[in-house]
Amino acid sequence: MDVERTMQFILEMQARHETAHAEYEAAHARNEAAHAKYEAAFAENEARSARMDRRIDRLARLGMRALEEQGNRINILIASQAELQQSLRELSEAQKVTETKMQAWFDSMRKGGNGGTTHEL
């Protein structure tokens, strides 16, 4: 009887082992599937990150170009402003000369000309 019980025990243990092994295999398969899913998600995130990096680089380049263009425009405006100020100074000087000449003409008209006739202005 001991042999039969021993055999029965061995068969039960083998059945338990096979059941546990089957459960392990099923869990391992689920883990492999989950791992594959996470690998795919990681690869997609890496690709998305690379695209974002390219976009950020492009935006940085465009921003730098825009700043450079704006700096150029500001320099042009500064130069134009300096030219305008110079032109206004020259105009002011010309107006002073004109005012002096006009005042001299007015004075000559008040004093009278060749005939001694005076004019009121």
* Digitized pLDDT (tens) for each residue of the chain, 121 residues in all: 698 999 999 999 999 999 999 999 999 999 999 999 999 999 999 999 999 999 999 999 999 999 999 999 999 999 999 999 999 999 999 999 999 999 999 988 888 666 555 555 5
Report d(CA 13, CA 58) in Å as an integer.
Answer: 66
Tally of CB atoms within 10 A around 109: 14
Identify the pLDDT of residue 31: 97
Residue 26 to residue 18: CA distance in whole angstroms = 12
Segments making up each domain of the chain, as ranges: 1-80
Which string of DSSP letters, residue by residue, matches 41-67? HHHHHHHHHHHHHHHHHHHHHHHHHHH
Looking at residue 83, its pLDDT comes to 97
60's CB contacts (< 8 A; 6+ apart) are: none
pLDDT for the residue numbered 110: 85
pLDDT at 111: 83
Rounded CA gap, 109 and 121, in Å?
A: 8
CA–CA gap between residue 114 and residue 59 (Å, rounded): 80
- The confidence score (pLDDT) of residue 100 equals 95
